Amino acid sequence: MEKENKNLSFNDYVSRFNVFLKQRKLSHTSERNAILRAIYQFDKHFTLEELLNYLKKNKYYVSRSTLYNNINLLLEAGLIYKYQFSNQDLPCYEKCLKENVHNHIYNIKTQEVIEFSDQRIEDIIHEIEQKYNIKVLQHNFVAYCEDNNN
């Protein structure tokens, strides 16, 4: 909870996607630009439907197929998170602005998400790697909470 590394600027965000596209030998398209710009606008997490509506409202129509396709690419690129907090809720996505932060506090009432870092989690991962002779590729921590005053 101590380390608070800086958020990525929109330009950095875009260029990370460009690097990814280049690696994969994929093309730049106006749809991809529009989607990336839209995602960056969202301050909180959003569903695919909400993203679609946002794009439509802003006079940029993208088909569902294209959106699914590119959401999957962005997930693979590590530029967005996918949450599915409850079984019946739709999956939510959120731009990933801090690198290597995979710890989240999720408010089940307001559905707000706070990202945080903590050295102790890094320590635990290190110890796991030693103890089991494995490489931890990624991790995920979610604390589900509610406000004390309700």
Binding site for DNA (CB under 7 A): 25-32, 48, 61-66, 68-70, 72, 87-88, 90-91
Nearer to DNA among residue 73 and residue 96 (C-beta): 73
* Secondary structure of residue 14 in the 3-state scheme: helix
- Measured in whole angstroms, the distance separating CA 71 from the mean position of its chain's CA atoms is 10
Nearer to a second copy, 18 or 103 (CB): 103
DSSP state of 29: -
Q: Give least dist CB 49 to DNA, A.
A: 7
**CA-based end-to-end distance of the chain:** 25
**Nearest distance from C-beta of residue 19 to DNA, angstroms:** 13
By beta-carbon proximity to a second copy, the closer residue of 42 and 106 is 106
Whose Cβ is closer to a second copy: residue 19's or residue 143's?
Answer: 143
Residue 75 binds which one of a second copy, DNA, none, with CB within 5 to 8 A depending on kind?
Answer: a second copy
Least separation in angstroms between residue 21's CB and a second copy is 20
User: Could you tell which of a second copy, DNA, none binds residue 19, using a CB distance below 5 to 8 A set by kind?
Assistant: none
Rounded-to-integer distance, Cα 85 and Cα 101, Å: 18
Q: How far is the CB of 28 from a second copy (least distance, A)?
A: 25
The residues near 3 (Cβ < 8 Å, ≥ 6 apart) are: 117, 118, 119
Tokens 């990814």 correspond to what residue?
20
